[in-house]
Amino acid sequence: MSEHIIPSKIYYAIWIGLMILTVVTAAVSFVDLGPFNTIVALLIATFKALLVVLFFMHVKYTSEKLTKMVIVSSLFWLLLLLFLSLADYSTRYGHS
């Protein structure tokens, strides 16, 4: 965990990126993409979250593997909750 001071240029770039993505995701939701509306919205959200985590939260610059492990395992656990619950709901009576 060395003190890594990131040039403020990067912060501004990320900030502009996030703003653009926000406007894009809001705009795209008005276009009919079928099932892809949800997918695009979630992909953009994930990309935005990734930008925040990597740059604003300095994960890209930390040498600490532990931080990444904490993030990855929390997300893994969240997916466990979602997928194993879905395993029930998606195969219940009548639903196809």
| Pair 94, 42: CB distance under 8 Å | no
State how far the Cα of 22 lies from the Cα of 44, in Å rounded to an integer: 8
List the one residue out of 70, 52, 60 whose CA is nearest residue 4: 60
State yes or no: residue 13 binds other proteins (CB under 8 A).
Answer: no
* Contacts to other proteins from residues 32-51, by CB under 8 A: 32-33, 37-38, 41-42, 44-45, 48-49
Compute CA distances 10 → 16, 34, 74, 79, whole Å. 10, 36, 27, 31
State yes or no: residue 92 binds other proteins (CB under 8 A).
Answer: yes
State yes or no: residue 71 binds other proteins (CB under 8 A).
Answer: yes
By the criterion CB under 8 A, which residues form the site for other proteins?
Answer: 1, 3, 5-6, 8, 11-12, 14-15, 18-19, 22-23, 25-26, 29-33, 37-38, 41-42, 44-45, 48-49, 52-53, 55-57, 64-67, 69-71, 73-75, 77-78, 80-82, 84-89, 91-96
